[in-house]
């Protein structure tokens, strides 16, 4: 009996150690992934002696933080505010339009051709029009982001609601009810389960539109930094702004994913 207890104890200890190793690896692997790109950057710069014109050194990029006026935090904050506001409004607009199309066949026939034609236009292509219409105002930039992501989200919303599982269709037929009458009870939860990949892609699109609008006309923001650095051949500033853009997009995507998965608690 004692021998059996010892065997069970050792088995439990072995399982616990295996779990600890897996848990540790889940933290180490992402850290290695984060450090991999800077390591490649340093190796290329130091061992292949690439010119600063093409690849600045990490120290020069870090030095650019103190050279920028106004502070790089100000530029990052302005870009982040434009991104978040435009992204939220564009997401809500697209989802609302998709639900409206799903709920009304007449509205779907009326608006679907326009949405299908507009969503085929690249988001960046609308930037010159909004600059001509609104100048360099913040309103124009926010509207650019809304237009850039709303059409695709509207189509994705309608498609997600139309392609409901067969068991849901059987349920609605059994009770002789329409899912269109259950916006909060069925439609919204259904969208919460299916739209996250499309919304994450829309976030990247929104980031591209914001930067394009800042490149073509702005006095502050990361896109403005890239534009001014390009005209002065300040490659280290361009690298700094690009790195911050990547980190900003990754951070917003991380927060969005965590919040969305927590909101869909029933899964």
CA dihedral (151, 153, 155, 156) in degrees, to 10, reads 160
| pLDDT tens profile 180-233 | 888 888 888 889 989 999 999 999 999 999 998 888 777 889 998 988 888 888
Q: What pLDDT score was predicted for residue 19? A: 54
Count of CB atoms situated within 10 Å of the CB of 54: 8
What is the domain extent for residue 68? Answer: 60-263
Is residue 128 located within the same domain as residue 74?
Answer: yes
Q: What pLDDT score was predicted for residue 7? A: 45
Q: CATH number, domain at 147? A: 1.10.3720.10
Of 214, 241, 83, nearest to 149 (Cα)?
Answer: 83
- Tally of domains within the chain: 2
Range list of H helices, 163-219: 166-174, 188-194, 196-216
CB-based contact 195:95 (threshold 8 Å): yes
| pLDDT tens profile 67-79 | 887 888 999 999 9
pTM of the model: 0.82
CB-based contact 235:56 (threshold 8 Å): yes
Is residue 41 located within the same domain as residue 101?
Answer: no
- Whether the pLDDT of residue 64 is over 50: the answer is yes
Identify the H or E element spanning 13.
Answer: helix 2-48
Radius of gyration from C-alpha coordinates of the chain: 25
């Amino acid at each position: 009996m004692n021998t059996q207890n010892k065997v069970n104890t050792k088995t439990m200890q072995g399982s616990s150690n295996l779990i600890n190793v897996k848990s540790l690896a889940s933290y180490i692997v992402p850290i290695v992934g984060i450090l991999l790109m800077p390591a490649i950057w340093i190796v290329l710069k130091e061992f292949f002696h690439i010119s600063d014109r093409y690849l600045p050194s990490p120290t020069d990029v870090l030095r650019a933080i103190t050279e920028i006026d106004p502070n790089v935090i100000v530029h990052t904050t302005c870009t982040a505010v434009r991104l978040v506001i435009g992204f939220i409004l564009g997401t809500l607009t697209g989802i609302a339009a998709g639900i409206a199309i799903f709920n009304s066949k007449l509205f779907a026939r009326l608006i679907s051709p326009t949405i299908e034609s507009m969503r085929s236009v690249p988001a960046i292509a609308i930037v010159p029009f909004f600059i001509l219409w609104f100048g360099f105002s913040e309103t124009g930039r926010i509207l650019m982001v809304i237009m850039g992501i709303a059409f695709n989200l509207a189509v994705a919303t309608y498609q997600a609601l139309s392609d409901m599982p067969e068991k849901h269709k059987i349920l609605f037929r059994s009770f002789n009810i329409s899912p269109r009458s259950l916006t909060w009870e069925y439609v919204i939860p259904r969208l919460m389960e299916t739209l996250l990949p499309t919304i994450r892609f829309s976030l990247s699109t929104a980031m591209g539109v914001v930067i394009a609008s800042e490149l073509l006309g702005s006095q502050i923001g990361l896109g403005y930094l890239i534009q001014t650095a390009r005209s002065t051949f300040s490659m280290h500033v361009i690298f700094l702004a690009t790195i911050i853009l990547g980190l900003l997009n990754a951070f917003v995507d991380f927060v969005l994913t965590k919040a969305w998965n927590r909101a869909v608690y029933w899964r």
